[in-house]
A and B are shown apart, each in its own frame.
Chain A
Amino acid sequence: MSISIIIFIPSLLLVALSFFKINRTLMAAVSSLIIVPAIYIFMHPFVNEYFLVDKLNSFVLLISSIVGVGVSLSMISLPDRLNLNEEAIKRFYRFFGIFWFGLIISILANNMGIFWIGLEFATLSTVYMIKVKDSLTAHKEAWKYLTVGAIAISLVLFGIILMYASAKDVLGEDAMNFYALAKNASKINSFLFEIGFTISVTGFFIKMGFFPMNLWLADIERASIYPVAALFSGILESAIMLGFFRLSKIEMLVNTSHLVTFSYIYAIFTLFMVSFLIYRAKDFVTTFALSGIEHMVLITIFWVSGGYFAALLHLAAHAFLKPALFLSSSMLEQNRRYRFKGALKGYKNKLIPLLISLLLLGIISIPPSPMFFSEIFGFKAMLDVAQDSDYFLVMIFAIFIIMLLLSIIFYKFITIYQEALYDGDDEPKKVYKSEIAMLLLFTISLLALILPQVFDYIEGIIK
């Protein structure tokens, strides 16, 4: 059987099993099988008519599948915590299977159109996952996601059509291929391509909650169950970012300065909004959701500044840290939802507050978090861009503004950590074994990221 069919088997199996009476542990085990084809593809890249596996997308697929395993582990015990009935669990796995199916298509596609189809498939399946827990808020947010998500994804398609039009006369139907476009960047109609690129990227940015849609994703993640927020931040955002990486590599060949200017202006506007929204946030999920936007902004500007290693390391670290934090929120918020005080107190097993503290401090790049290294290298890349630029002072000012806004977020997270650890009452909190397993999986994955061999591998992804 062809490898391009085998990779879809775990997701299809998951959809099929969701129609029968389920055993939670068995479903989590089946769901975790998604990592098997991801590892296989990582070891054996392949190319065919529709898919092209290179180091970049096999890496993104591997980290996404590890996140998928973590989410599956948490789903063993989460229904008890959230009072989810069997029907809700079945629905979650059914749509998780469809989501993963769309995501594989999107991540592995070498064709812009197929990439879009996969992304749309994944987007539509998440609509229903948002309202796995039946509440009016979740229902409203699901509709909101459908509305904004559909507009964002339409913008992406709009841009893709224009980019295709920019090169169809030269490349024919190959004008849809990322690699063919990159190879022939000098021959395409640059004006039309840039218009298409800008519109598509605006669609990507809206989907990730960039300016001016900063709160829509946070509201949705707050209204849905924790694993859905984890899937959004750890998997869907990585797939969208991969699309941005692919397109921006072509745009770099067409006009680098336009790309840098556009991305930096968008990034500063977004960071400005997000930093103050984080400062005002009252609960863990909203804070983590907004912090996800901040990290996507950083990945974007590291990438366009030529800091590929920094961007990819940051992407991987964020993909592990953020889902772990979202899933930990089920433990942190078990007594009160809108309160930071005392959230890290009251655990019998002292490993839990230790691991969550490490994650909480890791997300603001305190060493030895992989984000510490990615930010060092990322800011170095930004300074290099400033040095090579004709607008040195403007660029330095932009970098200064970005650091200033990041310091607001840093301050807020330190305050949250201190309140959670030192303030509030020592109320007893329950922790399930599967939650410990999930936390250990993400912590080990994060530690693996700072191994020298992994650094070397990530550095070799984009030469």
Chain B
Amino acid sequence: MIDVLIGFYIATLITELFTTRLYRLLGWYALNSLFLGLIAIYMGTQISDSAMIISGSITIVIKFMLIPYVLKYIATKFNIPRNINPNLKVHYSTIIVPVILVFTYYLVNPIIHNMAYNANYVALSISSLFLAMLLIIEHKNIAPKIVGFLSIENALFLLAISATKGMPMLVELGIFVDLLMLIVIVNILFKHQGDF
């Protein structure tokens, strides 16, 4: 089950890289977060960790429901361009994405040998970190860059739950608060000058 969920998580992230419309990108980000939340809830259930189940549920509420909605609202309010063509051509991305996925595995091989559990998920979370960074790099517009940061945060959350079986609850709540602060800042920045 967990393999299927992580498969969907990576698939939605890869789709984000090829998306050329802003609202669709937000939709894929929302789905990506939904699968992440489900992974946390499933892992939490398996190891009977209520903190991880709560974190997964909060992930679904904040990242699947709230953040995409707020970002869509901001995009509509400030007339942010919806056409978000990546700077990187599709055929290059098609080559780079599998290269990242395969080579990250070899890159982090020494790390995953030192992991007591979920070693493969750690490799996948690190590749998703690189994919999210690629999303930031390949776009000139600021809106997909913001989705890129949020995807980095998702990758780090996956790394935290797979490598450490969950961080302390207080730290995870703090990270959620920081994310909301990021959205507030983004809103204010757009409010005063719009996209450039």
One digit per residue, 1 when the CB lies within 8 angstroms of any chain B CB and 0 when it does not, for chain A 163-200 equals 01110110001001000000000000101100100000
Interface size of B by CB at 8 A reads: 36
- List the B side residues contacting A407 at CB < 8 Å: none
Is there a chain A Cβ closer than 8 Å to B153's Cβ?
Answer: yes
Is there a chain A Cβ closer than 8 Å to B152's Cβ?
Answer: yes
The 7 closest A-B pairs by CB, nearest first: A113-B171, A117-B174, A165-B163, A120-B178, A165-B164, A150-B149, A139-B193
- List the B side residues contacting A276 at CB < 8 Å: none
What class of interface size applies to chain A in its complex with B?
Answer: 35 or more
Contact B142–A143 (Cβ < 8 Å): yes
A-B contact pairs, 13 of them (CB 8 A): A111-B171, A117-B178, A120-B181, A142-B189, A143-B142, A146-B185, A147-B149, A151-B136, A158-B159, A168-B164, A168-B165, A192-B114, A192-B115
- List the A side residues contacting B133 at CB < 8 Å: 151
Interface of A is mostly: helix
Contact A134–B178 (Cβ < 8 Å): no
Contact B196–A139 (Cβ < 8 Å): yes
Contact A117–B171 (Cβ < 8 Å): yes
Question: In the complex, A127→B168 CA distance in Å?
Answer: 28
- List the A side residues contacting B185 at CB < 8 Å: 124-125, 127-128, 146
Contact A147–B145 (Cβ < 8 Å): yes
| CB closest chain-A residue, reference B193 | A139
One digit per residue, 1 when the CB lies within 8 angstroms of any chain A CB and 0 when it does not, for chain B 170-194 equals 1100110110011001101100110
Contact A158–B156 (Cβ < 8 Å): yes
- List the B side residues contacting A134 at CB < 8 Å: 192-193
Assuming A117-B175, A143-B142, what are 9 further A-B pairs, CB within 8 angstroms?
A121-B181, A142-B189, A150-B149, A151-B133, A158-B156, A161-B163, A161-B167, A176-B171, A191-B111
- Name the distance in Å between B67's Cβ and chain A's nearest Cβ: 15
Contact B116–A113 (Cβ < 8 Å): no
Is there a chain A Cβ closer than 8 Å to B58's Cβ?
Answer: no
- List the B side residues contacting A336 at CB < 8 Å: none
Is there a chain B Cβ closer than 8 Å to A131's Cβ?
Answer: yes
Question: In the complex, A142→B133 CA distance in Å?
Answer: 19
Is there a chain A Cβ closer than 8 Å to B10's Cβ?
Answer: no
- List the A side residues contacting B188 at CB < 8 Å: 128
One digit per residue, 1 when the CB lies within 8 angstroms of any chain B CB and 0 when it does not, for chain A 116-134 equals 1100110011011001001
Is there a chain A Cβ closer than 8 Å to B160's Cβ?
Answer: yes
Contact A161–B170 (Cβ < 8 Å): no
